[in-house]
Amino acid sequence: MVFKLPELSLVNKITLSMLVVVTLCVALTLIFIGLPLAHALVILVLAITLSAIVSSFVCAPIRQGLEALELGLHNFKDGEFSNNLAYQSNDQLGRLCQLYNQTAEQLRKEKQWIYQRELMLDKVLESSPQALVLVNSNNIVVFSNLSARGLLQSSTHLEGISLSQALEQAPPELKQAINSGQDGLFNMLSEQEEVQTWHLATGQFLLNNQEHKLFIFKQLTRELNRQEVAVWKKVIRIISHELNNSLGPMSSMLHSGKILTSQLDEPRLQRVFSTIEERIKHLSEFVQGYGKFAKLPQPKLAEIDWQQLVSELAEQWQFNSQLTLPVTPCFADIMQLQQLLINLLKNAHESGSAADKVSLSIEQYGQGMMISVTDEGQGMSEQVMANALVPFYSTKTSGSGLGLALCREIVEAHHGYLSLHNASNIKSNTIGLLVKVFIPFGKPSAGQFSE
């Protein structure tokens, strides 16, 4: 059996060393002097006792400092940096405790800064328009923001459940995009049955020594529409510029030709001039119409009087109206909103629908107003509906193809949306078209209040 000495602390080792040294020194001295054994034992006991008292007194501050350091390092291990050491002696141990306190202060400031950054990052991620879903190696959702919960149609937090459970209420196109595991674009229908374009980006990284996968969903519908419209506007500006450069000299030459031939009695020449003048006027109106689309001004927001707006529209077009006044006032550009509804009602009347079958409905919907225009015309084929909002596209022989494109431009300038739907009516055996326009309530900025 091997005898093992108990583990001693540093202070006890110092004390024991002092006692051993003192005992040996006193014992050797007594032997050298040659005192009687009884006297020598008494002196030896007194020397050992005195040395024990002195070593205890000398080692007491060392014990306190070491205990304080041990407690402080335990706090460091637990991530606690708010406690300072009270040991203040002007020795090496005191300087070590002072260095500990300085380190704790620095770590405390860094921890507070990291905590503030984490709060800011959490706020940014939670309010981000991009939908973010983070899953671990077991496909368990560990983070999802508000946009992600809306995209996955979940009313509760997704953290702690599997990815497959989180996708139970999601649209099938979204499930397919996630299961494919590839970055790219995909389309899906929104709650308003509007085709939306999304981009999925994925990334993998280590977090707490565990593999995690991040899904980032970004809605590109508005951005793609904005870029498409920007290209069309550029084309329109170029065409308008070239036409205006030609129409000016043509009008001047026509006027000069009329003066030079005013003395001639030739009816055919007058018909030629009249035809040219008519075409120049038509082209000028054509250019002005496209210029209006290409240079649509920013909305000047003012509170909308819905009853007055419907009354003014009823003076120009026949329709059945259903108006539910909102509790919250709605701010929009009155002229642009009126132009929007005129275009929609005009299209409804030109769809082949009877005038008494055209309907206009306005009601509060969430944080805005939902405007619906319906008719009982021929509706739209899938191809026509896919291109109906594209500038220059028209199925009418005399159409400019800007009516619905201008409507969408007005709606998106108000941060709303416009969607087209075929609405079949079983009673009248017609298809018809339903146009939905959502306009948020909005708030007027400084200087935009109506007088």
Write the pLDDT tens digit of every residue in 239-298. Answer: 676 677 777 777 777 777 777 777 777 777 777 778 887 777 767 766 666 666 556 778
Helix (H, G, I), strand (E, B) or coil at 105: helix
pLDDT at 331: 92
pLDDT at 447: 46
- Tokens 């009155």 — which residue? 334
* Nearest to 374, CA basis, from 395, 400, 347: 347
pLDDT at 87: 72
> Is the pTM above the cut of 0.75?
no
pLDDT at 196: 74
pLDDT at 390: 66
Q: Are 183 and 196 in contact (CB under 8 A)?
A: no
Which residues of the chain fall below pLDDT 50?
1, 3, 5, 447-451
User: Any idea where the domains of the chain sit in the sequence?
Assistant: 10-114, 127-219, 224-294, 302-440
User: Alpha-carbon dihedral of residues 295, 298, 303, 308, nearest 10 degrees?
Assistant: 0
pLDDT at 451: 35
* Nearest to 418, CA basis, from 379, 363, 370: 370
Q: Would you identify the CATH topology of the domain 302-440? A: Heat Shock Protein 90 (3.30.565)
pLDDT at 6: 57
pLDDT at 429: 61
Q: Is beta strand 359-364 parallel, antiparallel or unpaired with respect to 320-323?
A: parallel
Beta-carbon contacts of 344 under 8 Å, excluding residues fewer than 6 positions away, are: 373, 407, 435, 437
Amino acid at position 106, single letter: Q
pLDDT at 12: 63
DSSP 135: E
User: Matching CATH topology for 127-219 and 302-440?
Assistant: no
How far, in Å, CA of 411 to CA of 416, rounded? 5
> What distance, in Å, lies between the first and last C-alpha atoms of the chain?
103
Q: Would you identify the CATH topology of the domain 127-219? A: Beta-Lactamase (3.30.450)
Mind listing the pLDDT tens digit for each residue in 439-449? Answer: 998 776 554 44
Rg of the chain taking only CA atoms, in angstroms: 43
Q: Look up residue 345 and give its two tokens.
A: 């009602």
